[in-house]
C-alpha cells in the first residue's frame, strides 16, 4: 500500500491510501464511518483495480479547517493529484451522494458508480413517525450536549436499523461499526460546506455510465426509498437489496456484498473473473 499526503487549499491535508494496479476505483465512505469501512473489500479489489481511499474533511484523521469547501471538488483534486484521468466511484451513504454529484458535474472523469445506501442530493423521502421521532431525539440530545445519548440513537438508526434490536445484529460487526461511528464527527471549526443546496433529482438521466445500487433491507426507509427512486430513473442500473443489513451492508454482510459487487464488475467488463469473489 502507498500513502500520500495531498495538500488542498485552505490548509487541508488529506492522508490518501492506494493499492493495486489497473482501472482506478475510489472508495468514498459514509457519513457515519471513515475510510476503514472498506477494509473488508480493500485487498480483493486491489487485485483488479487501483483502489484509493481517504477520510473526508471532518472525519477520521482529517479535521475541518475554516473556509468554504466542496467534497465533490475534493474528489476531483485527489484524482488530479494522483494523475487519475477517470475512475469508478463507490460511495456509501453521504459518499454515494458525493459520487452522484461528481458524476453529474464531471462526467468525463467518472467511468461508473457503485451506490451503497446512497443519499440522493435533493431527494426528500418519508420515514414512519417512529423513525422521525428517533431522529428528533438524536438532534435534541446533540443540542443539549448529551453526546452519549445522541451516539446511541445514531447507532440504532444507522448501524442496527430502526426496525431491529441490537441483539439481532452480529456483535463483531456492531462493535467495529461503533468504533468507526465515534470517529465520524469533528467540529466544523469554521468550515462552510458549499454543496448543500445542490440537487440531482432531475438530472439522473444524465448518468449514462453503469450504476450498481445496493441497499440494506433494514436501512432507514427514506434511504431505501431513494434507492428505488434512482432504480426507476437511471439509464444503466442494476439494483440489489441485502435484506438482513442496515446502512453499512458491505461491513455487516461482506460475503453477500462482495458477491454482488464482483458479479456486476465482471458483467460490465470492469474486472476479470479471477478478481471477483462471485
Shared-domain flag, residues 116 and 232: yes
Location of C-alpha cell 465482471: 266
Write the DSSP string, 128-169.
-HHHHHHHHHHHHHHHTT-HHHHHHHHIIIIII-TTS-GGGS
pLDDT, one tens digit per residue, over 236-257 is: 999 999 999 999 999 999 999 9
pLDDT, one tens digit per residue, over 4-21 is: 999 887 788 999 999 999
- The total number of structural domains in the chain stands at 2
pLDDT given at position 65: 81
Shared-domain flag, residues 216 and 118: yes
Shared-domain flag, residues 100 and 221: yes
Q: Is the pTM of this model over 0.85?
A: yes
Shared-domain flag, residues 30 and 118: yes
Which residue segment(s) compose the domain that 80 sits in?
2-125+185-275
Residue 114, C-alpha cell as written in the block: 457503485
Shared-domain flag, residues 157 and 170: yes
pLDDT, one tens digit per residue, over 109-164 is: 999 999 999 999 999 888 999 999 999 999 899 889 888 999 999 999 999 999 99
How many CA atoms lie within 13 Å of 190's alpha carbon, on the beta-carbon side?
Answer: 6
The DSSP letter of residue 111 is E
Shared-domain flag, residues 82 and 63: yes
pLDDT given at position 142: 86
Of 92, 122, 98, the C-alpha closest to 110 is: 98
Shared-domain flag, residues 99 and 190: yes
Amino acid at each position: 500500500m502507498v500513502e500520500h499526503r495531498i495538500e488542498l487549499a485552505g490548509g487541508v491535508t488529506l492522508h490518501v491510501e492506494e493499492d493495486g494496479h489497473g482501472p482506478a476505483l475510489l472508495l468514498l465512505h459514509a457519513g457515519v464511518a471513515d475510510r476503514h469501512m472498506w477494509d473488508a473489500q480493500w485487498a480483493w479489489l486491489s487485485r483488479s483495480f487501483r483502489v484509493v481511499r481517504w477520510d473526508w474533511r471532518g472525519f477520521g484523521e482529517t479535521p475541518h479547517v475554516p473556509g468554504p469547501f466542496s467534497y465533490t471538488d475534493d474528489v476531483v483534486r485527489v484524482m488530479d493529484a494522483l494523475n487519475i484521468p477517470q475512475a469508478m466511484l463507490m460511495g456509501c451513504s453521504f459518499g454515494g451522494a458525493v459520487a452522484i454529484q461528481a458524476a453529474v458535474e464531471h462526467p468525463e472523469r467518472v467511468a461508473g458508480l457503485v451506490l451503497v445506501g446512497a443519499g440522493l442530493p435533493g431527494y426528500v423521502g418519508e420515514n414512519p413517525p417512529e423513525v422521525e421521532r428517533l431522529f428528533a431525539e438524536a438532534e435534541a440530545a446533540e443540542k443539549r450536549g448529551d453526546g452519549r445519548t445522541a451516539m446511541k440513537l445514531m447507532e440504532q438508526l444507522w448501524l442496527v436499523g430502526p426496525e431491529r434490536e441490537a441483539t439481532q445484529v452480529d456483535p463483531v460487526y456492531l462493535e467495529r461499526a461503533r468504533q468507526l461511528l465515534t470517529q465520524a464527527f469533528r467540529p466544523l471549526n469554521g468550515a462552510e460546506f458549499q454543496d448543500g443546496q445542490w440537487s440531482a433529482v432531475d438530472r439522473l438521466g444524465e448518468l449514462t455510465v453503469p450504476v450498481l445500487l445496493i441497499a440494506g433491507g433494514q436501512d432507514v426507509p427514506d434511504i431505501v426509498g431513494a434507492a428505488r427512486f434512482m432504480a426507476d430513473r437511471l439509464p444503466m442500473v442494476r439494483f440489489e437489496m441485502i435484506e438482513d443489513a442496515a446502512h453499512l451492508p458491505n461491513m455487516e454482510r461482506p460475503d453477500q456484498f462482495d458477491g454482488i459487487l464482483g458479479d456486476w464488475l465482471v458483467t460490465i467488463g470492469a474486472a476479470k473473473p479471477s478478481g471477483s469473489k462471485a
